[in-house]
Structure 1
């Protein structure tokens, strides 16, 4: 496939994420071309993006640091990953997809998120078909509840903007390595 490019795009108006929080105080969306031989659906793409193989080592270190700090403020920490339940079907949300609960789903999109005292966030993982091209789109929106939420997100925002594209690139690279073209 060559170099993997992730591009920041406007919030996709056809996404479940639009309207999932009101008001939206912060939002971003990133798009990447999926490999031509990737025939998986949104569940597989979400698993790739939230897999340990996609997590840059610097992001894992920052997550551990974050957990140590936010515990003092009574905020939720990120725990070990959970797997979706076997009984969840395409029209039912699985209870969790890695760290974040699945809130809603369609055949092409999963909406994940958490609500906390300081802020709520939603992450959408979407597959968009555009003729011969297939795109993976990851959208994040945040609603702040108070000053703590705004203060918390201030240092998180620039890290988030680096981390999401890095994770997307690493996820596709890991998939391509495990699924070389022609095999």
Structure 2
């Protein structure tokens, strides 16, 4: 059903995207016949998300700053520029990979667009590799919010097309 976000089995080569990833999940939304590419889908997710996600992100940035963790993608090498705070690491019209490495954990977001012309789908896969106790603790603390945030952000891919 168009606009319904559902959790799916991840279908990315974790070893290629983020070697040693300890966490991986994926969500998919049907977008119908819409001609969306991976950058546009990622932009809609990240830049047009619900306000409450912006509030959570600001809170997160305030809480982690004393620990020396990154609070934005500024200064990170990004061959494809930034989408919001996410550096774009590689991109085709069907796949965009964004993310960065930090002292506590490394993460990637993979946005895939697939399906035929009448039944397009966008899949967002998150991969995380923790680097230390702080990373493992951080991952544990954000997990209750992760699925809610991703589902809500993915819903924004379809919203501008309605």
TM-score, normalized by length of structure 1?
0.79
Structure whose alpha-carbon radius of gyration is higher? 1
The structural deviation recorded for 1:60 is: 1.3
SS at match of 2:83: coil
Question: Does the Cα contact within 8 Å between 2:96 and 2:110 map onto a contact in 1?
Answer: yes
Question: What aligned pairs does 1:96-111 form with structure 2 within 5 A after superposition?
Answer: 96-111=82-97
Deviation of residue 24 (structure 1)?
A: 1.1
Note if contact 2:20-2:129 (Cα within 8 Å) is conserved in structure 1: yes
* Residue 7 (structure 1) aligns with: 6
Deviations, residues 4-37 of structure 1 (Å, cap 9, x unaligned): 2111011113x6x55221211101100010132x
* 1:18–1:12 CA distance, 2 compared to 1 (3 A): farther
The alpha carbon displacement at 1:95 in A equals: 2.2
How far is 1:50 from its partner? 1.5
Matched residue SS, 2:64: helix
What's the CA shift for 1:97? Answer: 2.1
Q: Which residue of 2 aligns with 1:122?
A: 108
Give the corresponding residue for 2:51: 57
Structure 1 runs (4+) deviating above 4 angstroms are none
**RMSD (CA atoms):** 2.1
Q: CA deviation at 1:148?
A: 0.3
Unaligned 5+ residue runs, structure 2? none
- Give the aligned partner of residue 24 of structure 1: 21
Is residue 46 of structure 1 aligned with residue 31 of structure 2?
Answer: no
Using structure 2 for the length normalisation, give the TM-score.
0.88
Report the count of equivalent residues: 159
Structure 1 or 2: more strand by fraction? 2
